[in-house]
């Protein structure tokens, strides 16, 4: 099977089940026009995040890695009226594009964008005594995932769902001899998961318009 066929299936599913509105399509177009990396989640993946957040009854969502805010819009639209997304972005340019996208999509009032290194921002959230998050989406640099996951646990509660994107890396996750720092990061993350008694987790391989990759789904138990 080819990437073209995977994309064709994504396009079919998007046309029938995802039904992007203008706010979502404009976010993708604005991100492309601004020269942001084309690494945002696909429309079916965005809808998956939306559904998972709704299934978990999330009122407070943490996203690590905003980019142009496409996934953030999906998450914000999963919230009740009093819900809030806190999204962390390293690059000020990306955050500026995302804020424009949030305004066009009509969700800006539900989103708190914080700019800076995620590790520092996560530490700041903890120092502020932030209310625990119900749903956490980690989609940032892969070498940093182990550290982001440790902070996510500190900012979670029993029952929090954590989704970590891009962890299979075209199958390189299984390569014990890899020298790729991103792959090493997701392997260290899996080692942490295997030893962490407070969570239950699995990793799922995926194919689609974004190629061959996968995500990890974590359910937090007693903390």
34-53 confidence digits (pLDDT tens): 999 999 999 999 999 999 99
Task: Specify whether the CB–CB gap between 91 and 174 falls below 8 A.
Answer: no
Quick check: pTM over 0.85? yes
What is the domain-level CATH number for residue 65? 3.40.50.150
User: φ, ψ for residue 66 (rounded to 5)?
Assistant: -85, -45
Name the pLDDT band for 19 (thresholds 50, 70, 90).
Answer: confident
Domain that holds residue 133: 3-220
Rg, C-alpha atoms of the chain: 17
d(CA 107, CA 129): 25
Name the pLDDT band for 2 (thresholds 50, 70, 90).
Answer: confident
How many domains is the chain built from? Answer: 1
d(CA 41, CA 82): 25
Q: What DSSP state is assigned to residue 190?
A: H
Tell me the per-residue pLDDT of 128-185, one tens digit each, with 9 for 90 and over.
Answer: 999 999 999 999 999 999 999 999 999 999 999 999 999 999 999 999 999 999 999 9
Closest CA to 106 of 83, 81, 79, 73: 73
Q: Which residue has the tokens 């939306």?
A: 50
- High-pLDDT (> 70) share of the chain, %: 100
User: φ, ψ for residue 155 (rounded to 5)?
Assistant: -105, 10
């Amino acid at each position: 099977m080819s990437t073209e066929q995977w994309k064709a299936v994504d396009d079919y599913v998007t046309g029938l089940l995802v039904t992007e509105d203008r706010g979502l399509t404009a976010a993708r177009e604005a991100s492309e026009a601004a020269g942001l990396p084309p690494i945002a989640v696909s429309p079916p993946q965005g809808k998956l995040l939306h559904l998972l957040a709704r299934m978990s009854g999330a009122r407070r969502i943490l996203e690590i890695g905003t980019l142009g805010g496409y996934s953030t819009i999906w998450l914000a639209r999963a919230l009740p009226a009093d819900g809030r997304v806190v999204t962390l972005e390293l690059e000020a340019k990306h955050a500026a594009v995302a804020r424009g996208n949030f305004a066009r999509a009509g969700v800006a009032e539900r989103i708190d964008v914080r700019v800076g290194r995620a590790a520092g921002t996560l530490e700041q959230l903890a120092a502020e005594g932030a209310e625990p998050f119900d749903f956490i989406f980690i989609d940032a640099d892969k070498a940093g995932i182990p550290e982001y996951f440790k902070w996510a646990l500190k900012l979670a509660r029993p029952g929090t769902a954590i989704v970590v994107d891009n962890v299979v890396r075209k199958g390189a996750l299984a390569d014990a001899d890899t020298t790729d720092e991103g792959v090493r990061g997701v392997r260290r993350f899996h080692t942490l998961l295997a030893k962490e008694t407070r969570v239950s987790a699995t990793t799922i391989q995926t194919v689609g318009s974004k190629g061959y990759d996968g995500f990890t789904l974590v359910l937090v138990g007693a903390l």
